[in-house]
Amino acid sequence: MQAVVKPRRAAGGEVATVPDPVPRDDEVLVRVRASSVCGTDVHLWTWNAWAQSRVKRVPMTMGHELSGEIVAVGRSVRALAVGDHVSAETHIADGTCYPCRTGKMNICENVQVLGVDRDGVFAEYVVLPEMNAWKNDPHLDPAIASIQEPLGNAVHSLLPEANVEDLAGKNVLITGCGPIGLLAIAVAKTLGVSSVVATEVNRIRADLARSMGADAVLDPVALGDRLIPEIRAATAGHGADVALEMSGHPSSLATVFGALTPGGRVSLLGLFDRPVAIDVDSAIVTKAARIQGIFGRRMFETWYQVRALLARPAFREKVASIITHRVPIPEVARAMELIESMQAAKVSLVARW
Amino acid sequence: MQAVVKPRRAAGGEVATVPDPVPRDDEVLVRVRASSVCGTDVHLWTWNAWAQSRVKRVPMTMGHELSGEIVAVGRSVRALAVGDHVSAETHIADGTCYPCRTGKMNICENVQVLGVDRDGVFAEYVVLPEMNAWKNDPHLDPAIASIQEPLGNAVHSLLPEANVEDLAGKNVLITGCGPIGLLAIAVAKTLGVSSVVATEVNRIRADLARSMGADAVLDPVALGDRLIPEIRAATAGHGADVALEMSGHPSSLATVFGALTPGGRVSLLGLFDRPVAIDVDSAIVTKAARIQGIFGRRMFETWYQVRALLARPAFREKVASIITHRVPIPEVARAMELIESMQAAKVSLVARW
Amino acid sequence: MQAVVKPRRAAGGEVATVPDPVPRDDEVLVRVRASSVCGTDVHLWTWNAWAQSRVKRVPMTMGHELSGEIVAVGRSVRALAVGDHVSAETHIADGTCYPCRTGKMNICENVQVLGVDRDGVFAEYVVLPEMNAWKNDPHLDPAIASIQEPLGNAVHSLLPEANVEDLAGKNVLITGCGPIGLLAIAVAKTLGVSSVVATEVNRIRADLARSMGADAVLDPVALGDRLIPEIRAATAGHGADVALEMSGHPSSLATVFGALTPGGRVSLLGLFDRPVAIDVDSAIVTKAARIQGIFGRRMFETWYQVRALLARPAFREKVASIITHRVPIPEVARAMELIESMQAAKVSLVARW
Amino acid sequence: MQAVVKPRRAAGGEVATVPDPVPRDDEVLVRVRASSVCGTDVHLWTWNAWAQSRVKRVPMTMGHELSGEIVAVGRSVRALAVGDHVSAETHIADGTCYPCRTGKMNICENVQVLGVDRDGVFAEYVVLPEMNAWKNDPHLDPAIASIQEPLGNAVHSLLPEANVEDLAGKNVLITGCGPIGLLAIAVAKTLGVSSVVATEVNRIRADLARSMGADAVLDPVALGDRLIPEIRAATAGHGADVALEMSGHPSSLATVFGALTPGGRVSLLGLFDRPVAIDVDSAIVTKAARIQGIFGRRMFETWYQVRALLARPAFREKVASIITHRVPIPEVARAMELIESMQAAKVSLVARW
């Protein structure tokens, strides 16, 4: 079959012919109908420092966001059948380690990530463990179905645990309006929050943030020292009750802590690449802040929440609007370029080989 | 001043002249602009069995739902001033008992309820402890501001604790569409739920339930044994994730447990007057159900949630629409009759003496 | 091999020769070193109403509490090896249903219980899914290792969720001192509680309750109306913060609600066989009580808690002391009789065929 | 009366005669029977950078940890009486700000700390709001009763919320064995944890840590790079489930994050004086860590937990053993010196003027 492959430990990638995958007893074989490009894929493509240290195996088929149709099932598969439409939870967990046995499969000690640790979805076919195949409404646009995975990151950032402080009536701050930040704005607006304030420097993204429903979108560079006072003004003087850091910029981390209400909650999803100096005393200790690292999604509570969101037509429209480009998959190099140059929000890859 | 008084331990009430109230050091004096009638007031008026056992003191000024304007403050009052618009948290707590010292002022061991244990708000003026006076947006319609207290019951039923299981993506069942049930439908629809199913026999209320946004409104009498299968069908086969019992009918309690998904959560607000037979084994134990009794509101987390809801124009309109009647307060007897005969949903009392 | 079999839908059971079990790819084969008798086994043996309605298949090998040694593994087994000592989580879940996908495998929609729905552990050998085999310290007494499963029920009753109200400083009431009640007393005493009050009518069990560490053991029949006042006196006047109902007696349910502090928490594990009349208004609603049905154990958070408890020598001794009888497994009929007549607390079956 | 006073904005302090305090309506007047010295008092005495920026008012009576007897009550005081023995919650909250109204009085926006913002307890008498006076068992040693306040910090670090992840069966790491770290070890050992590992360089404190019950006490300087592997070895290979940073050393912060199990929980109580560089990606984000800033104590859930702990004779003995010195209060300068030079763990001040 055809696949987008990382052939060697160097920048770039290529479309190549690879062997057809065969499902094991507990796996399903999926024909890919749509996939989409994540920032991680761009890092792998450009072969940045993170990619160089993270990737263990080449050649490897890239990609992890997909939707497709089951064309074969292993003999132990119980809940799925040929013809079912599915997307993938991309963290493949071992099920028996300490985190897995205590409800945290997303941080499995032996986690394998699709398209990073094992062959991914930028291909005609992919195999998935039954556990990781999430059954979709067959009427859902495949391009949107493929985006459920990052939408899950956005939901998980807002609702990291079953018993987290509820968001009803709270003010939410989101720093960074990349695809997950944009999705998080749209999600937050459905959860009974009081207001959503976002920060973003890029004009295209700031406009999308407004169309996602942000009550205020602030430019941190333009505002400088007035940023935190502006956030306070936009949150009834209390500051943010809940803050999501999604930019990976050290200055945004300072914004998050400075604008947080005492006793407030922070979700950290953005990666910073290098250590960040934090004034722990005022940022965390005396403010009694709560901080949660965000990695993956809850398996599979988050997926049910994603399903319920996508059942709302108005929400689906918002999600569709951040897919700014749809590109045939053989032109994957152009998709990478569109994201890297920040011309695109989300790029969907059409399975036209 | 003029007030609606319960003069003696018997059915009825009357408008009478009573002494003007004087605030203590920690109290505020409020001129009442609007009040509204709760089912509790009707029980007191008709002097039913509950009222006979509950009321300790007559004569007493009735009523507890209000909005008004502060006209005087005690010398220890810090956060409020003359001219502020306020409503009342109607549970007046002592602040030092075991529940109060552990975050549960709503079930204070020595709680005094306005209009039941101390003089209430169906009057020209009322005194409130500063702690119990909740500052309103001065532009809020006084009739709506007065309804914040039962709206708080609705919110508290859905969000009984800070760290409760989130509602995002969950199916909600509400049995009984009196005023609090109707408000609960409207609130649930703002919290990212998957769907809201309500049950109600009265046609006027069932129609209001639909206009509040219920995805399905089912008549338990008409459906009989088909009620629970219908609820399951309306909740993707899982049953209700969260159920709110707001009718006080034993058959609704059976519905709640029968339609609950395993591991689901139940809030009980309705009062049943007499013991109810429950099949504890199947309803609770083997189903791993969680049940929460609902009394009052969280003090004061719930009030912030109420404030955020009422900042939404669409939500305010829904709330306004359940005020089916506005009656000058001297005609309070008629207001009681409208509610008792189920012709009215919520009756607002206009402060025109 | 030899096994204790329920041969037909009638009272009793017998030792019989049955085919040797063969593990599938994802299963392990365990040589049983010790097993123990649960109340459920007695119900199956005596063929009471519950057993008649619950059992779908005969003949079937009985029993679910065990410890043993792995003698063969399926080819997909990853974390276990021949020679490992294991016990069994007895709820075999499908892993893909709604409860399983949302962290509640113990109430799997398609749960199969060992010795009830599939062949059990009163045998020379048993097969278990890898997921359900819990690796033991090889130095742990097999008789104690076998009791981890009901010990898990006790732990789960006290700690039903990850984010439950902490027990530190709280007063705990336990009604009913059967084996799980006794274990719950011992567990509660390790969790920083303020005091544990138990109720029990049987003298042997009441004495064991004291040796488990109960601060007070009260006889509900002898005390009558003075029972609840006595519990209040033993809990600093507040009543019980947390109550565990483990007897299945309707009168104990009334005791639990009557003695509960407002806002307190109840775990219900005992089964009542028939509907129970509950004064919902005073027991639950106005008291703002929280109730949790208890079924099985958290998979597998509870097992880690059990492991940590059994690492304490003093705790192990307490557990050993409730194994009042050790009987060779061919004399299983005598074991059943000892429990049914309440002469025994826990009976261990020695694997001497 | 006599009092230990900070007379001016400079190092040192003095015993001086000051006016007798008079309680307001809602306050009680307490005759001090014992007080004790906190690290904060030493900072104020030596007038370090923190003290210079924090203190707004001199002259001021120092001290905040105390036990004493009520000798007069204001006319609004309801639950306390002359003769009652009390200690003080040292955070005096306004009760109406956003944190206070949402269950977080310990981080009141207008908090006044005894001995920092208003006259403290190193005096013959002190006035306290009724709300802040915590009634003691009159038989409790006054020196121990005075230490309840830092004991509350220790408890709060372990149990920061009502619905926090339970500690049963978990491994706990505590970095820094000053008085609060030592108390935290003793508390953790009562909560059903699997093990407690502590780090400390000072030999006196390390010995006390062992006598508090730490399962391992490790010297971070001596171990260097082997510290984190040693902690892993002492925690069954998983790392710490819960870590308490109580030293204020940047290297300990790195230890905490390095030794934390994925998905683990961190409480930060130590102050670092300057920004600390944190590798947010590996320490928090990809590890899905949860972090909680610790400031004060829960008001007043923590105090009930403290009371229950001190009801245990063995626990009281441990607490007594960390009071290494008892000094008459006029020799307060010597007490400060004993602590600053790390010769003392906790110094009790005897009310012998």
User: What distances in angstroms separate CA D174 from CA A278, D206, D323, one per listed residue?
Assistant: 21, 12, 20
How far B33 CA sits from the closest chain C CA (Å)? 30
* Residue C258 and residue C284 in contact, taking contact as beta carbons nearer than 8 Å: no
pLDDT for the residue C334: 97
- In angstroms, how far is the first alpha carbon of chain A from the final one? 10
Nearest Cα neighbor of D170 from A96, C166, C154 is: C166
Q: Is C238 a catalytic site residue?
A: no
How far B307 CA sits from the closest chain C CA (Å)? 24
Nearest Cα neighbor of A323 from A55, A74, A143, A152 is: A143
D166: pLDDT confidence band, cut at 50, 70 and 90?
confident
Is any Cβ of chain D less than 8 angstroms from the Cβ of B26?
yes
pLDDT for the residue C259: 98
How far D299 CA sits from the closest chain B CA (Å)? 7
Contact D169 C194 (CB under 8 A): no
pLDDT for the residue A315: 96
Which whole number is the average pLDDT over B138-162? 94
D2-146+322-350: CATH class:
alpha beta
User: What distances in angstroms separate CA B76 from CA B27, C268, D13, D117, D125, one per listed residue?
Assistant: 8, 47, 34, 20, 24
Is any Cβ of chain A less than 8 angstroms from the Cβ of B14?
no
SS3 B67: strand
Which whole number is the average pLDDT over A141-165? 89
Rounded distance between C-alpha atoms, residue A289 and residue A239, angstroms: 12
SS3 for A172-223 is: EEEECCCHHHHHHHHHHCCCCCCEEEEECCCHHHHHHHHHHCCCEEECHHHH
Rounded distance between C-alpha atoms, residue B236 and residue B222, angstroms: 22
Rounded distance between C-alpha atoms, residue A145 and residue A71, angstroms: 18
Which whole number is the average pLDDT over D293-319? 95
How many CB atoms sit inside 10 A of residue D111's CB? Answer: 21
Indicate which residue of C43, C85, C156, C249 is catalytic: C43
Angle, alpha carbons C214-C215-C219 (nearest 5°) = 75
Angle, alpha carbons D3-D9-D11 (nearest 5°) = 75
Rounded distance between C-alpha atoms, residue D308 and residue D257, angstroms: 32
Which whole number is the average pLDDT over A276-287? 96
Residue D105 is given by DSSP the state: G
User: Is pLDDT of A165 > 90?
Assistant: no
D206: pLDDT confidence band, cut at 50, 70 and 90?
very high
Beta bridge partners of residue D326, listed in sequence order: D348
Buried b (16+ CB within 10 A) or exposed e, D128-165: bbbbbbbbbeeebbbbbbbbbbbbbbbbbbbbbbbbbb
- Per CB-CB distance under 8 Å, the chain A contacts of D268 are 280, 284-285
* Residue A190 and residue A151 in contact, taking contact as beta carbons nearer than 8 Å: no
Q: E-strand spans in D111-209?
A: 112-113, 125-129, 133-135, 171-175, 195-199
User: What distances in angstroms separate CA C42 from CA B5, C112, C200, D232, D344, one per listed residue?
Assistant: 64, 19, 21, 44, 61
Give the one of B168, B194, B308 whose C-beta lies nearest to A194's C-beta: B308
Rounded distance between C-alpha atoms, residue C126 and residue C120, angstroms: 7
Name the amino acid, one letter, at B149.
Answer: E
B161: pLDDT confidence band, cut at 50, 70 and 90?
confident
Radius of gyration of chain B (CA): 20
Reported as a single tens digit per residue, the pLDDT across D90-103 is 999 999 999 999 99
Name the amino acid, one letter, at D117.
Answer: D
Rounded distance between C-alpha atoms, residue A153 and residue A136, angstroms: 18
Q: Which residue has the tokens 């544990």?
A: C196
Angle, alpha carbons C49-C50-C52 (nearest 5°) = 65
Rounded distance between C-alpha atoms, residue B277 and residue B243, angstroms: 19
Which of B256, B285, B299 has the highest number of chain C CBs within 10 A, making it the mutation to test binding with C? B285
* Residue A184 and residue A174 in contact, taking contact as beta carbons nearer than 8 Å: yes
Name the amino acid, one letter, at D93.
Answer: A
Reported as a single tens digit per residue, the pLDDT across D131-154 is 999 999 999 999 999 999 999 999
Chain A neighbours (≥3 Cβ pairs under 8 A) are B, C, D
pLDDT for the residue A166: 72
Quote the tokens at residue C224. 């009558």
Residue C125 is given by DSSP the state: E
pLDDT for the residue C163: 56
How far C20 CA sits from the closest chain D CA (Å)? 36
User: Crossing angle, helix C203-212 and helix C313-321, to 10 degrees?
Assistant: 180
Complex ipTM value: 0.94
User: What distances in angstroms separate CA D151 from CA B61, C115, D185, D263, one per listed residue?
Assistant: 48, 50, 11, 27
Reported as a single tens digit per residue, the pLDDT across B259-289 is 999 999 999 999 998 999 999 999 999 999 9
Inter-chain contacts counted by CB atoms under 8 A, chains B and D: 48
Domain at A158-293, CATH homologous superfamily: NAD(P)-binding Rossmann-like Domain (3.40.50.720)
Least confident of B153-162, C114-123, D205-214: B153-162
Rounded distance between C-alpha atoms, residue A246 and residue A70, angstroms: 34
Which residues, at least 6 apart from C141, have a Cβ–Cβ distance to it below 8 Å?
Answer: C316, C320
User: Is pLDDT of A164 > 60?
Assistant: no
B165: pLDDT confidence band, cut at 50, 70 and 90?
low
Could you give the residue range(s) of every CATH 3.40.50.720 domain in chain B? Answer: 158-293
- Per CB-CB distance under 8 Å, the chain A contacts of B155 are 168
Could you give the residue range(s) of every CATH 3.90.180.10 domain in chain D? Answer: 2-146+322-350
Nearest Cα neighbor of A319 from A190, A179, A205 is: A179
Nearest Cα neighbor of B50 from B273, B272, B245 is: B273
Q: Is A43 a catalytic site residue?
A: yes
User: Is pLDDT of B237 > 80?
Assistant: yes
pLDDT for the residue B76: 87
Contact D107 A288 (CB under 8 A): yes
Name the amino acid, one letter, at D175.
Answer: T
- Per CB-CB distance under 8 Å, the chain B contacts of C279 are 274-275
Which whole number is the average pLDDT over B61-89? 96
In terms of DSSP bridges, do strands A65-73 and A27-36 run parallel, antiparallel, or are they unpaired?
antiparallel
Residue C133 is given by DSSP the state: E
Residue D283 is given by DSSP the state: I
Contact A131 C95 (CB under 8 A): yes
Which whole number is the average pLDDT over A234-253? 96
Least confident of A133-137, A189-193, B141-145: A189-193
User: What distances in angstroms separate CA A287 from CA A258, A290, D269, D298, one per listed residue?
Assistant: 10, 9, 11, 14
* Residue C68 and residue C135 in contact, taking contact as beta carbons nearer than 8 Å: no
Chain B neighbours (≥3 Cβ pairs under 8 A) are A, C, D
* Residue B34 and residue B351 in contact, taking contact as beta carbons nearer than 8 Å: yes
User: What distances in angstroms separate CA B31 from CA B96, B240, D263, one per listed residue?
Assistant: 29, 44, 54
Contact B308 A192 (CB under 8 A): yes
Burial of C135 (0-12, 13-18, 19+ CB in 10 A): middle
Rounded distance between C-alpha atoms, residue A75 and residue C202, angstroms: 53
**Segment 151-170 of chain C within 8 Å of chain B by CB:** 163
Which of C136, C166, C235, C298 has the highest number of chain D CBs within 10 A, making it the mutation to test binding with D? C166
Q: E-strand spans in chain B?
A: 2-6, 14-17, 27-36, 60-61, 65-73, 85-88, 91-92, 112-113, 125-129, 133-135, 171-175, 195-199, 216-218, 240-245, 260-268, 276-278, 290-293, 323-328, 346-350
Beta bridge partners of residue A86, listed in sequence order: A68, A135
* Residue C311 and residue C288 in contact, taking contact as beta carbons nearer than 8 Å: no
SS3 D28: strand
In terms of DSSP bridges, do strands D2-6 and D14-17 run parallel, antiparallel, or are they unpaired?
antiparallel
Reported as a single tens digit per residue, the pLDDT across D239-273 is 999 999 999 999 999 999 999 999 999 999 999 98
Rounded distance between C-alpha atoms, residue A333 and residue B170, angstroms: 40
Give the one of D164, D191, D306 whose C-beta lies nearest to C191's C-beta: D191
User: Is pLDDT of B155 > 70?
Assistant: yes
Chain C neighbours (≥3 Cβ pairs under 8 A) are A, B, D
SS3 A13: coil
Contact B104 C288 (CB under 8 A): yes
Tell me the backbone φ, ψ of residue B174, rounded to 5 degrees. -125, 115
Nearest CA in chain D to A287: D293
- Per CB-CB distance under 8 Å, the chain C contacts of B270 are 285
pLDDT for the residue A124: 98
Buried b (16+ CB within 10 A) or exposed e, C17-53: ebeebebeebbbbbebbbbbbbebbbbbbebeeebee
How far C241 CA sits from the closest chain A CA (Å)? 21
Nearest CA in chain D to C301: D169
Least confident of B138-147, B312-321, D160-169: D160-169
Rounded distance between C-alpha atoms, residue A183 and residue A164, angstroms: 20
Contact D103 B102 (CB under 8 A): no
Angle, alpha carbons C100-C103-C107 (nearest 5°) = 55
Inter-chain contacts counted by CB atoms under 8 A, chains A and B: 66
- In angstroms, how far is the first alpha carbon of chain C from the final one? 10
Contact D163 C164 (CB under 8 A): yes
Give the one of A163, A191, A311 whose C-beta lies nearest to B194's C-beta: A311
User: pTM for this one?
Assistant: 0.94
Residue C131 is given by DSSP the state: G
Name the amino acid, one letter, at A32.
Answer: V
Quote the tokens at residue D303. 């105090």
- All residue ranges of chain C with pLDDT < 70 are 162-165
